[in-house]
Structure 1
Amino acid sequence: MQQDIITNDQRKGWGVPRILINAEWRRNSHVFFVLPELSNVTLTPEFRSSSYRHLHTVVNKPQMTTVADETFDKDDSDVPDLQELWCFGDDDGTGAEPYCCCCTCGKPIAGQGEAIIRTFSVRPLDDGDGEAIWSVEEKEGASKHVRALGSLISIYNRHLACLQQGSVTYVTVSHVWDLDVSAAQARGRHSPQDIATRQKAFARPINIYRALVSNLQKTKGETDGGGAFEVWHDYISVLQWRDDIKEKILGAIPKIYGGSHFTLAFLEDVTPQMVEDMRHAPSSERRLAGVTGVCNAQWFARVWTAMEFVRSARLKPMVSDYTIYDDAPGMFLGKAADVYEEEIRLQGDILEVERMAQQGRRLVPWNVVTIADARRDKVLDYAPAFSVLSARGCRSDRDFFHALRGIVLGKHDEPLKADSQAACLQVAMRCLEAGDYSPLLITPRLGAADPRKDRSWVERMGYNDVISWGLRGRLSRPECHDSFYFAGNQPVLKLERIGIVRTVRRFLHPGQHANFANIARTVVDYTGPDVDAFVETLGTRLYDQDKSDIMRRLAQENRRQALEIALREQYDVAHRHWPMEGFKGSKWVADAMGLSNASLEHRKGQTPFEYLERHGRTIHLLHRQAIIGVACQTCHDTFLFRAALYQCPAEVRDAVAYRIPGLHYKMARPDGVGILVKNEKIVGRMIWACPACPCQQREMVKLSIPDLPLPVPRAQMLSSSN
């Protein structure tokens, strides 16, 4: 027998089993072992022979674990039919599994309305000539064993509660399906399966398991069970050709991922070099290439992986060569955003950085990072959840709504409806029941002029569906939800009546200062020369600034007195144009109030003008935004608000404006969220409509749920526009 390359003393120090490497191992199709260093290891001539191409070497490096990819012989006998994974071995595709009992409690799973939670472990086959070489103990009691590619896959079926309440450490895998494997799955169980596709379906979970062995060996202090673990990977864990059983599993996926030890996210098209360039490259071009390499990963482009990203308790990324990173919080997105912001600082011009990064053709961090906000919340309201998922791809709308149900509020235990619009309404109604009113505020379908159908807009915005929803997360819930109920499919809720919409005016001049001059002149017509009323209307309800901040600025350098004179002059003159230039011109007014400069504290150092142009305009639906005059029916005064219109101005006129008491979103003003209702139909929304008078008349209002948008994946939109 040849000498041991690794001595027993070394072996004891590493805590791994004894490994013998010599000519007798040639007949094994796979050898897998763990080495903390390779630099001091000498291989024998036999070991270096090309016949050992199946050998897998695992290298532990600081903060990462690497497993070399493999090439398998195209040996049909070593690659089972996919029916071994995707349906029960002795059924016809419709019956219940006769032996599907829980490995933990021994009770039946199938037929009880519960999902079959299937995990697995992997070890190499031993032909009798060598010793066992696996670092994790083989567990007894598996539901099934499958031999594939020189490995033994042990499969364990359990109830979800038994898996999560027991002593099993399991890791979930989040990945994008291989196209060939996906096509084979779609063709069904009786279609031909070429060997290469079957190899892919088995090889990926096996390789991932091996990478995890090394990673958990390195971090075994973090795990339970002395390093023993199982894996949930949908190539093996989901019975793809049993729709009745698969449907239950899909409904349980959020809980499966939420309860795992961690989720391994496989970024198959991200290379270690991209990560290295993003972190340490000496040039801006290479750093930005690394950033866009990460942001354009297909893993960020899919609905299911986005849902898994949101719901997973912990995440570790794995890149193309099976390197696992333990030091990449946020799946590299935090670092990508930091590098991108630093490049903007270095270049001094965001447009130049976008040009260098080929923004539009290539995604940049702000096209992707909104998913990180969703991850912090874990469970989202309907509209922000829809906006996170809607531009991402999936095989069917049904998959989309399964994923959507996985991250929204509400009880979603009934079977998902088959029709897409019906499923959309079904999910929205359960969210409304739970106190999430965002289905009433999400931008409905807008017909041919819908910006979501514009290729250039979709190309630039990436995965951010800010037209459907740009208000981000909820800060407080509606205070009157206890009164909520459904009348048929119509929600009935307690709202605060603001008044009747009497005027609707659009200000669409392309220049901010020209627009401001026209808006300011209109405001004076309603408020008169009253500085407080003018500031509250123009500064707060139309430009989203705190009145107190503006008044502090006006108190300096006699600005308030000068503004009062300017207002009186404008109110007294007959013409309706406010000159822009000169002392007391509209440009001076904007500067005095802090709207055209950075004197007021605001988001990311933007001036209020810049904020309105870049984001405020979007959340008010671009050219559909308007200034509406609402007449209070109690005090009979009329007040101005900024609104996003779903219908033309003539249809919006005479609508009733309502405020939703207590409801607050990050990009709205406190007590500023409201809707415009006409004949029970929502025809517009307001988000900066804070109270303008003390009149508070609350009433029960029956509404029709809007024509909710359906998902349109970005890739589909761009390809169909070519």
Structure 2
Amino acid sequence: MEVEYDPAHDSQDVDYDEAQDGVAGNHSPVDDESDHVAVDRPPMTVRRYPHSLRIIYEPTITIYLGQEIQQIPQSQFLQHVWGDGLDSNCHECGYGFSPDDDPIESMIRTIAFEKSENSQPSGSDITQTSLTVHPIRIYNRHFRCLKEKAITYIPISHAWHLNVSKFQNDHLPGEDVAHDFEVARAVYQTPLRTLQAVTMKFGPVEIWHDYLSVPQWQPQFQRQLLLAIPDIYSWPERTAIHLDDVSAKALIHVQKNPEYGLFLDGLSEVTRSRWFERMWVTLEYMKSNEVRILTQDWEVFGLNASLILDRVDAAISKYIKQKGDATFHDHANEKGCKYDTKVCWTDMETWKMRKEKHRTLGFAIHILGQKKCRDMKDYHYALAGMIGFHVLKWRDPNDDSRRFWLLVKAALRHGDYTPLLFTPVQGEQPYDEVPWLHGHSRMTEKVWDLGACHQKAASSQIWQNGHVSPELEEVGVIESWKRIDVDGDPKVLFWAIVRWVLHIGATSARAFCNAVDRIFTDFESTALYVGWSSSETSEQGWNSPRYDIESIETILKSLKRVLRNSAGLWVEEVEDNEDEVDTLIQDLINVMNLESRGKNSADSRLNKTFSEIEWYRKQYGSTFDGVAQVRCNSCQRRSLFRLVCWTKPRRHVTEVFRIPGLLFDETVPQGVGLVITDGRIIGKMSYGTPACGCHKSRTVEII
């Protein structure tokens, strides 16, 4: 039988004089209990919320909120905490909250233990847990008030449980206890057990945990708090990330690496954590100061996340030197390790350590694009929060491409060249408004592949008079272009490059070595390995390989003799001298150390070059790498450059430009540039160091 029921008639307000408030005048509620006692405190009020008529006996959940003790039937718990049940004015200033306020005026809802009362869980109660002995107290404060009072808290970064995420997203009613019991249990117990764990580690604290700190079914406040995430996590001195599927034992193995097998076991467990899959928690990590890890054992690990990662990276470097890249990664894959996750963790820590001027949209996309989120709008707002651009509003048109373009324009205006160096995404249609823009409709890290920025470009003027018009340095016009075949032998490619260099004109041994460096780049000379500082790096600061120039000159003279007939004409085929050529090429490879293992890897320059080219083919479905013969417009010198082009260059039309000063992980100083055909970007350059002394600048409009 259905019964009409008015909740207002059943709720009761009861004076409760003995209870302590827990909110004292002008100090932080995380102080000792004795500090919470206030003089002439208003009496507490017990508010009992109506039970479901379909349940004979139903446990209640006690929550302290200001001067009120709420007793909520567990069947209504989710509606209560995700709706307006925990709403109040600010517990510091007494004023209300508005969803239209700036982040500094956002409602920060923190959770603490109310020690004046013990919990009394029962077997059918969602609050049942042996670890939590006190009910919780909720504090609502303006962010501004919280800062003014120097009230600290620990924000918790965690991956949502799948059933909780689905329930929240579907906005299901919370009346059916059998249906939402496990969800309500997770929403209640997870923050409380987290609070218990951090309290045991750091003493009495407040935490910010979005299961309870965000009114999930009040969209206007939920959105406001999403925009405030960078501030929520960057202000406190410490954040805890909850890896609820990683044991403390695994963390011990990765940071102590007692032996190879145990290290790989621990690395596999850590990198498979679902926390590393999600986007918002990634942003939270990068906006945090010190980060501590809460494990599945409900234990706050002793070392902070940064120190753990340092030890992981040191161990990996040691094993790669011992076994080589390929062998190490094969072993890691066999153990189920998600190595890309480890690399991304390193990138996240790198982002935290970078100066603001070296934080680029490209690197932000590379990190967040690997993660998962519900929609492109969340992705774009996370990017904006990561970079610190306040250019997006929730009321903006629901147009993914337009929203992304707003971010890109903001980046360009800040002197960030990375949008001009984005790589095309397979299957993405051009954006009519900005045909050269890549990544506008896809969430993917493949848009960016050059790593973190180490040095800004010499000129920050990119956006001029409403157009993308950067000042670039001319390299020259492309006269010929050949894609690199990675199905062949690296030595065959090297021989082809040698012939090409010698064919285009008189070449000194030093110029020849520079050409080889631009194609078979010494990866240990890139910023990633050299560890360039953020200070200005000159062209002369490039740690280029040192060669035995005299020996190389002797070999080149012998090759020139073989490659030209008695009349001095170029010979296309050398069957009669094939053995001699093979010997000379091998001598050249040996003298230039092209097959020698590097300092940081067991792999050689030849093999690393081929591996990089093959990586592009696997990632993007085709070979983008090629070698171009480029003629300088000023001195007419012809030189070879390795380029990445997604559209075939047009002979005598397509031009190559350098971006002076710009330096990324995967590039060398004075090596970054663009390939442009009639104002359209069709490729880029990473290792294009100057081949001549001409440094003519030109403003180029990108269309």
TM-score range, shorter chain: 0.7 to 0.9
Asked whether the 8 Å contact 1:278–1:290 carries over to 2, the reply is yes
| Counterpart Cα distance in 1 of 2:33 and 2:218 | 40
* Deviation of the 1:374 alpha carbon: 2.7
- Residue number among 302, 306, 321 corresponding to 2:297 in the alignment: 321
Report the Cα distance in structure 2 between the residues aligned to 1:249 and 1:369, rounded to whole angstroms. Answer: 27
1:574 aligns to what? 570
* Cα displacement (A) at 1:585: 2.3
Cα separation, partners in 2 of 1:117 and 1:612, compared to 1, 3 Å:
farther
Distance in 1 (CA, whole Å) between partners of 2:194 and 2:207 is 9
Residue 714 of structure 1 aligns with which residue? none
Is residue 2:691 matched to residue 1:701? no
> 1:323 deviation in Å?
0.6
Question: Is the 1:104–1:162 Cα contact (8 Å) retained in structure 2?
Answer: yes
Aligned to 1:358: 333
Name the SS of the counterpart of 1:181 in structure 2.
helix
Mapped to 1, the partners of 2:623 and 2:228 lie a distance apart of 42
1:428 paired residue number? 408
Amino acid at match of 1:215: K
Aligned to 2:456: 477
Question: Which of 222, 239, 253 matches 1:246?
Answer: 222
Which of 179, 188, 205 is 2:191 aligned to?
205
CA distance in 2, matches of 1:157, 1:646: 53
Distance 1:514 1:251 in 2: 54
Partner of 1:119: 109
Q: Using a 3 Å threshold, how does the CA distance of structure 1 residues 612 and 344 change in structure 2: closer, same or farther?
A: closer
Cα shift at 1:560: 3.0
- Alignment partner, residue 638 of structure 1: 638
The aligned residue for residue 554 of structure 1 is 548
CA distance in 2, matches of 1:383, 1:397: 16
Q: Which residue of 2 aligns with 1:294?
A: 270
Q: Provide closer, same or farther for how the CA distance between residues 685 and 278 of structure 1 changes in structure 2, counting only shifts above 3 A.
A: closer
Match of 2:64 in 1: none
| Aligned length in residues | 580
Letter in 2 for 1:118: I
- Contact 2:423-2:446 at 8 Å conserved across structures: yes
Inter-CA distance 481–550: structure 2 relative to 1 (3 Å threshold): closer
Superposition pairs of residues 671-686 of structure 1, within 5 angstroms: 671-686=670-685
Give CA deviations for 1:468-507 in whole Å, capped at 9, x if unaligned. Answer: 33321112212222463262xx422222232222211123
Q: CA deviation at 1:265?
A: 0.6
- Map 1:406-417; keep pairs closer than 5 Å: 406-408=385-387, 410-412=389-391, 414-415=393-394, 417=397
Q: Is the 8 A contact 1:664 1:671 kept in 2?
A: yes
Q: Distance in 1 between matches of 2:690 and 2:388?
A: 29
Choose the corresponding residue for 2:181, options 190, 195, 198.
Answer: 195
Give the corresponding residue for 1:23.
Answer: none
Q: Give the root-mean-square deviation of aligned CA atoms.
A: 3.7
Separation in 1 of the partners of 2:33 and 2:343?
Answer: 47
The aligned residue for residue 63 of structure 1 is none
- Give the secondary structure class of the aligned counterpart of 1:481: coil
Q: Per-residue CA shift, 1:554-596, capped at 9, x if unaligned?
A: 246x443333343454365532357576676222222222323
Match of 1:400 in 2: 379
The alpha-carbon deviation at position 441 of structure 1 amounts to 0.4
Match in the other structure for 2:479: 502
CA offset digits 1:691-720 (Å, max 9, x no partner): 22333332222224xxxxxxxxxxxxxxxx
- Whether 1:164 aligns to 2:147 is yes
Q: Distance in 1 between matches of 2:335 and 2:658?
A: 38
Instruction: Specify the code of the residue in structure 2 equivalent to 1:170.
Output: Y
CA separation of 1:342 and 1:686: change in aligned 2, threshold 3 A? closer
Is the CA contact (8 Å cut-off) linking 2:502 and 2:560 kept in structure 1? Answer: yes
Shift of 1:440: 0.8
Partner of 1:84: 80
1:274 to 231, 250, 256: 250
Contact 1:663-1:673 at 8 Å conserved across structures: yes
Q: How has the CA–CA distance of structure 1 residues 656 and 593 changed in structure 2, closer, same or farther, with 3 Å as cutoff?
A: same
Cα offsets for 1:285-330 (capped at 9, x unmatched): 3432122111111111111122222221110001102110121433
Q: Within the alignment, does 1:371 sit opposite 2:359 as a pair?
A: no
Which consecutive unaligned segments of at least 5 residues does structure 2 have? 1-30, 35-70, 121-125, 430-442, 526-539
| 1:597-618 C-alpha deviation (Å, 9 max, x unpaired) | 24xx765464322331234664
For residues 461 and 677 of structure 2, the distance between their equivalents in structure 1, rounded to whole angstroms, comes to 24
- Mapping of residues 76-155 of structure 1, within 5 Å: 77-78=73-74, 80-89=76-85, 100=89, 102-110=90-98, 112-115=100-103, 116-124=106-114, 151-155=134-138
Partner-residue secondary structure (3-state), 2:479: strand
Match of 1:222 in 2: none
Give SS of 2:636's match: coil
- For residues 630 and 353 of structure 1, do their structure 2 counterparts lie closer, same or farther at Cα, with a shift above 3 Å needed? closer
* Distance in 1 (alpha carbons) for counterparts of 2:545 and 2:253: 49
2:363/2:448 contact within 8 Å kept = yes
CA separation in 2, counterparts of 1:103 and 1:76?
21
Shift of 1:120: 1.7
TM-aligned CA distance change 1:592 to 1:368, over 3 Å: same
SS at match of 1:81: helix
- Cα distance, 1:349 vs structure 2: 5.8
Structure 2: which amino acid aligns with 1:625?
Answer: D
Using the size of structure 1 for normalisation, the TM-score is 0.72
Q: Deviations over 1:210-269 (max 9, x none)?
A: 11111113xxxxxxxxxx532111112222222222222111211211111211010000
Secondary structure class of the residue paired with 2:113: strand
Cα separation, 2, equivalents of 1:506 and 1:518: 12
- SS in structure 2 opposite 1:202? helix
The letter for the 2-side match of 1:121 is I
Secondary structure of 1:634's partner? coil
Q: Residue 653 of structure 2 corresponds to which residue in structure 1?
A: 654
Paired amino acid for 2:375: S
Which residue number in structure 2 is paired with residue 608 of structure 1? 605
- Superposed CA deviations along residues 14-42 of structure 1, whole A, max 9, x for unmatched, are x9989xxxxxxxxxxxxxxxxxxxxxxxx
Evaluate the alpha carbon distance shift between residue 485 and residue 236 of structure 1 in structure 2; reply closer, same or farther with a 3 A threshold: farther
Specify the code of the residue in structure 2 equivalent to 1:157.
Answer: N
Q: 1:618 to 1:119 in 2, by over 3 A?
A: same
Report what 1:456 is aligned to: none
CA distance in 1, matches of 2:695, 2:330: 51
Quick one: which of 238, 243, 249 aligns to 1:262? 238
Q: Read off the aligned partner of 2:283 and give its amino acid letter.
A: M
Report how far residue 273 of structure 1 moved: 3.2
Question: Is contact 2:320–2:601 with CA below 8 Å preserved after alignment?
Answer: no
Query: Using the alignment, how far apart are the partners of 1:240 and 1:326 within structure 2?
Result: 33
2:680/2:702 contact within 8 Å kept: yes
Counterparts of 1:352 and 1:538, CA distance in 2: 27
**Distance in 1, Cα, partners of 2:206 & 2:660:** 49
1:185 to 157, 160, 168: 168
Q: Which residue in 2 is equivalent to 1:689? A: 688
What are the equivalent positions in structure 2 for 1:657-668 lying under 5 Å apart? Answer: 657-668=656-667
Distance 1:594 1:284, change over 3 A: closer
Q: Is the contact between residue 211 and residue 324 of structure 1 (CA under 8 Å) also seen in structure 2?
A: yes
Instruction: Report the Cα distance in structure 1 between the residues aligned to 2:560 and 2:249, rounded to whole angstroms.
Output: 62
Cα distance in 1 for partners of 2:543, 2:156 equals: 50
Residue 275 of structure 1 contacts residue 294 of structure 1 at CA under 8 Å; is this kept in 2? yes
Q: Give me the whole-angstrom Cα distance separating, in 2, the residues matched to 1:564 and 1:479.
A: 40
- TM-superposition CA deviations, 1:82-130 (whole Å, max 9, x none): 232223249xxxxxx8x54x43344443155323232323325756999
Distance 1:653 1:156, change over 3 A: farther
Residues 343 and 84 (structure 1 numbering): CA distance in 2 closer, same or farther, change over 3 Å?
Answer: same
Cα pair 2:283 2:386 within 8 Å, conserved: yes
- The Cα shift of 1:512 comes to 0.7
In structure 1, what is the Cα distance between the partners aligned to 2:384 and 2:332? 35
